[in-house]
Structure 1
Amino acid sequence: MTRRIPIIPTAIVLIAAAIMVRLGFWQLDRLAQKQDMLARFTAAEADRTVHPWPRGGIAPLGYTRLQLECRSAGPAQPEAGRSASGQSGWAQVVQCATPEGAKARIVLGWSSQPAPATWQGGAVTGTFVPKGEDVLVYADPPLAGLQPNARPDPRDIPNNHLAYAVQWFLFAAIAVIIYALALRKRLRG
């Protein structure tokens, strides 16, 4: 009696392995995109030119130095943060509305105590850091009598796409190997 290779389980394993390989190549594409984005952020960080914002609805490039006018600021909300010298403490963050109606979150500066800072609004110069749909600006110089916050650094953005790609390729290889061993055992048995 000859044993046959089961068609449906084989097809399922091969389709799953193909999907995993495709996900690995997708992660390699994401790696190239992330490296390009980080290179643009690093170039923007090196440019110390201050750009006015908002400007015609155009979102600033991450790590660009910009200046905005905060027409009204909400109460400061302390969040965990680091000072320019590396101390743990509190970043004082306010919601801000510009005269043009744009919204931004402003990191006013750093303090060792969680007591909210008082700031009513005004001119802000700082570094824009993209956080999803939010406009987040780290004030430089700090405002409201606070100490300087740690400068945002694009090199702190994780770039794990190569590791993810290797994982997907390994998952595909392991799935095929385990299935091949099981199939070999079945065909011998």
Structure 2
Amino acid sequence: MTLRRLPLLPTALVLIAVAVMVRLGFWQLDRMHQKDALLVLYARNQALSSEALLLADKASREQTWFRHTTLDCKGAGMTRPMAGHNVQGQTGWAQWGKCYGPDGRTPVAEINYGWSTDPRAVAYGAGTVGGIIAPDGANGARVVSARPLPGLQPSAAPNPADMPNNHLSYAVQWFAFAATALVIYALALRKKMSSVA
């Protein structure tokens, strides 16, 4: 098989696709190192006894995950029960509510007020909430209260050890896709060239 006999457009498309897949593989390796650094930061945060402010900027909140904080929550409402675990690891209902800012209307953070086997919502009111800052996709951070509402048990504290770092396996997948594409294309070319000859 000579270069002159290679179909130019299909070959170019395959090589571009392979290059993109290889680039994605290296991007996942970069993400793996970034995630490793964040996990080290989170383990350090977990060991700190000093409190952190719950920052308004969503991107900055990631730096405070797994630190202790105290919020002065205004407003009141009913919790939203969602699946969760208590400190013993039992599955049940985590009771979530909103912490409102000084105006009593602007939400500052989602609060896990405690855990129960009962899925019914419970009332919560204004007051000081102390707890641990946890990851939250929608708001950047949420707080798991250290002192549950009356009648509730403490929810499981967030733990950086529960955060997976799957980027190496993703990188291997991208490299495997690239290699597979090359092998399949080479076999297809070989078959085509042998049928022409």
1:87 shift after superposition: 1.1
Match of 1:183 among 177, 182, 189: 189
- Relative to the length of structure 1, the TM-score reads 0.91
Whole-angstrom distance in 2 between the partners of 1:67 and 1:156: 23
Segment drifting more, 10-19 vs 96-105? 96-105
1:55 shift after superposition: 8.1
Alignment of 1:88-99 (within 5 A): 88-99=91-102
- Relative to the length of structure 2, the TM-score reads 0.87
Residue aligning to 1:23: 24
Alignment of 1:1-189 (within 5 A): 4-53=5-54, 59=61, 61-99=64-102, 103-134=108-139, 135-189=141-195
Whole-angstrom distance in 1 between the partners of 2:136 and 2:124: 23
Segment drifting more, 170-179 vs 74-83? 74-83
CA-based RMSD of the aligned residues comes to: 2.2
Distance 1:73 1:33, change over 3 A: farther
Q: Please say if residues 89 and 113 of structure 1, whose CA atoms lie closer than 8 Å, have aligned partners that are also in contact.
A: yes
Give the match's secondary structure for 1:19: helix
Whole-angstrom distance in 1 between the partners of 2:24 and 2:56: 38
Whole-angstrom distance in 1 between the partners of 2:82 and 2:10: 52
Give the match's secondary structure for 2:28: helix
Distance 1:117 1:89, change over 3 A: same
Whole-angstrom distance in 2 between the partners of 1:126 and 1:55: 17
Q: Share of identical aligned residues, percent?
A: 46
Unaligned runs of 5+ in 1: none
Whole-angstrom distance in 1 between the partners of 2:192 and 2:54: 68
Whole-angstrom distance in 1 between the partners of 2:9 and 2:53: 61
Runs of 4+ in 1 over 6 A off after TM superposition: 55-58
